[in-house]
Amino acid sequence: MKLLINNKEDIIKYIKSNNINFIDFRFCDLIGNWNSFTMFAKNFSEEMFTIGHSIDGSSIIGFEHIEYSDMYIVPDPYTVYIDNTNLQYGSVSLVMICDVYNIDGTRYSRDSRNIARKAEKCLSDIGIGDTFFVGPELEFFVFDKANFNDKEYNVEYNNYPYNIESKKGYFIPTPNDKLYNFRKEVMFELEQCGIETEISHHEVSPNQCEIDIKYDSLLKMADKVMIFKHIVKNVSSIFNNVVTFMPKPIYGENGNGMHVHQSLWKNNNNLFYDPDSKNMLSQNALYFIGGLIKHASSLCAFGNSTTNSYKRLVPGYEAPVNLSYSFNNRSAAIRIPFSFNLNVSRRLEFRCPDPMSNPYLLFSALLMAGIDGIINKINPGEPKNFNLYENNSNVKNTPLSLEESLDCLSKDYEYLVRGNVFTKDVIDTFIKIKTEECKEVSTRPHPHEFNLYFSK
C-alpha cells in the first residue's frame, strides 16, 4: 500500500535492494481474524504470485473439514506494505495480504476477500454504480492491565491526578487525555503503511479512543481495517498497554462502535448527491437507506457479530438502536451527516456496527442491502428529525441478542446471494459458528451472577 508497487518484478527488486529480511503473509478467516505466517525474504520468488503457498484449511475458523483441508494462499501484489511496528520483534517485515484458493485453482467461496471482490463486481455488473466508498470510524479502549477468566474480570486504567469522569471524555485534551501520544504513534504508523487518517480523539468513556480512516473502495477499506487493528494492537504492546475492540468491556460506560460512512459512485460522480432534490439527497440514496433499514436485523449478524455487541446496543449510551434515518441526528441508526461540498461528501452513516465485525463481510452485506433497496425501490419513509431516545414509538429497534440477529439472517438472506456474492454455504457456516459462541457464553457463570446468588 505505502510502497505503491504492484508490479511483481519491481516487488522482487525492492525486496533485494532494501535488505528486507522477512515477509509476512496474512489472510482472514470467516469471522474476521487475521492468520499469518512468515518466510525469509531470500526464499521468496515471483512464482509465489502464481502458485502461492499451501495451508491447512481445517485449522482456520470457518474453513474446511480435515478431509478437505488442502488449500493454498496467493499474495495480492496490490497490498504490499512495510510494517514498522514489528521492529519490537527484531526486524522490519514486508507484508502481503493473501487470497485463498481451492486446490483446483478456483477462489475459495468462504474467503472473505473473495466475497468482497464479488460484491464490487455485482455492483458493476448490475450497472447501478462502479464504486462503493466506505469510511469507518473505529473506537477502542486502551487499558494498563486486563485480567479475566470464566468467573471474573478486571481492567485497570489510571489517569491520576487528572481523572476523566464517567461519560465525560469526548474530545478532552491533555493532560487529562493520557492517550494523546499513543494515538499519534498509531496515526504515524498507519501513515507509514499508506493508510490516511482524518482525525483522532479521546472518546466519551475513560481511556476510549477513536481514529477515523479516510474513505476508500470496499475491498481496499476492508484490508485497511484489518491493518488498522493490527497496528493498534502492536503499538499498544510497545506502550505496554492492552487494547480491546470489544464492544462493551466496561459496564455503565459507552461502548465501542464502528460507524460506517457510505456512498455510491459512477464515472466519478456521487450517486447520493442530487442538487435538485430536497436536502440534496438523491432518490437512489433514499432507496439505499430503505434497503439498509429493511435488512438491518440480519445485517446486525455481520455488523454486531459477538454476544457482547448487544450489551452496547442498549438505550441510554448513545447507542444506535433506533432503525430509522435522519439528518444530522445521532439518535437514529442511519445519519445523513452535515458537510460542505455535498457533490463529493453527500453520504450516509450506518451507526450500528462495531469493530469486532469482519469488515469484508460487513461492507459487502451493507452494499448488497443497499443494492436491494435500489432495485426494489424500497421507500425508507420520512426522516425522524427528533430525539429518538426520548420518543421512539413506532420505530423498530435493533435485535436484542446475537441469537436474534442470527435468526433474522437465517430468514432474510436472499439479498446477500444476489450475484452469488454470498453463498448459502457461507451464511450457514457463519450462523453455525456464531450459534456455538452463543451457547458457550450462555452456559458459563457470569460475574454478576456471583453477586446475585453466591451467598444467598
Same domain, 156 and 271: yes
Both 264 and 344 in one domain: the answer is yes
- SS3 state at 322: strand
Percent of the chain with pLDDT over 70: 96
- Picking from 60, 84, 108, the residue at the C-terminal end of a domain is 108
Asked if pLDDT for residue 340 goes beyond 90, the answer is no
Domain that holds residue 55: 8-108
Q: What would the mean pLDDT of 7-33 be, rounded to a whole number? A: 91
Q: Euclidean distance between the first and final Cα of the chain, in Å?
A: 59
Residue 342 in this model has a pLDDT that exceeds 60: yes
How many CB atoms within 10 Å of residue 84? 16
Same domain, 327 and 180: yes
User: Are 95 and 160 found together in one domain?
Assistant: no
The enclosing H or E element of 14 equals helix 8-17
Q: Determine contact, residues 118/48, Cβ cutoff 8 Å.
A: no
Residue 113 in any domain: the answer is no
Asked if omega into 161 is within 30° of 0 (cis), the reply is: yes
Provide the pLDDT confidence category of residue 160 given band limits of 50, 70 and 90: low
- Within 13 A of 44's CA, how many CA atoms are on the CB side? 26
Looking at the fold, whether 32 and 99 belong to one and the same domain comes out as yes
Q: Name beta bridge partners: 200.
A: 211
Is residue 143 a contact partner of residue 241, using CB atoms and an 8 Å limit?
Answer: yes
Q: Is residue 250 part of a domain?
A: yes
- If asked whether residues 123 and 102 sit together in one domain, one would say no
Final residue belonging to a domain, choices 89, 108, 127: 108
- Looking at the annotation, which residues are catalytic? 56, 137, 139, 203, 210, 259, 330, 349, 351
* Phi-psi group of 26: left, alpha or beta (phi > 0 → left; psi -120 to 50 → alpha; rest → beta): beta
- Examine the fold and report which residue of 74, 108, 142 is the final residue of a domain before the chain moves on: 108
Average pLDDT over residues 275-300: 95
Q: Are residues 174 and 74 in the same domain?
A: no
- Please give the helix or strand (H or E) that residue 410 lies within, else none: helix 402-411
Report phi then psi at 49, rounded to 5. Answer: -75, -5
Number of domains in the chain: 2
With beta carbons less than 8 A apart as the criterion, state whether 197 and 210 touch. Answer: no
pLDDT higher than threshold 80 for residue 158: no
Here the cell at position 68 is 478437505
Does some domain include residue 1?
Answer: no
Q: For position 307, which CATH number holds?
A: 3.30.590.10
- Alpha-carbon distance values, 103 to 71, 107, 337 (Å): 5, 9, 46
Query: Measuring CA to CA, how many Å separate 435 from each of 5, 33, 307, 401?
Result: 42, 17, 10, 11
Same domain flag for 193 and 145: yes
**304/166 same-domain check:** yes
Q: List pLDDT tens digits, range 1-14.
A: 566 666 788 899 89
Residue 335 sits in the same domain as residue 235: yes
**Does 41 lie in the same domain as 170?**
no
- The span from the CA of 142 to the CA of 183, in Å, is 10
Query: Do 103 and 235 lie in a common domain?
Result: no
Q: Is the pLDDT of residue 395 over 90?
A: no
In this prediction, residue 204 carries a pLDDT of 92
Set of cell numbers at residue 296: 438491518
Question: What is the pLDDT at residue 37?
Answer: 94
The answer to whether position 140 is within a domain reads yes
What is the model's pTM? 0.95
Q: How many CB atoms lie within 10 A of CB 195?
A: 24
Mean pLDDT (the chain, rounded): 92
Burial class (CB in 10 A: 0-12, 13-18, 19+), 387: middle
21 located within any domain: yes
Give 347-370 pLDDT, tens digit per residue.
999 999 999 999 999 999 999 999
Q: Is residue 2 part of a domain?
A: no
**DSSP code string of 138-175:** EEEEEESEEEE-SS-EEEE---TTS---TT--TT--TT
**CATH number of the domain that 82 lies in?**
3.10.20.70
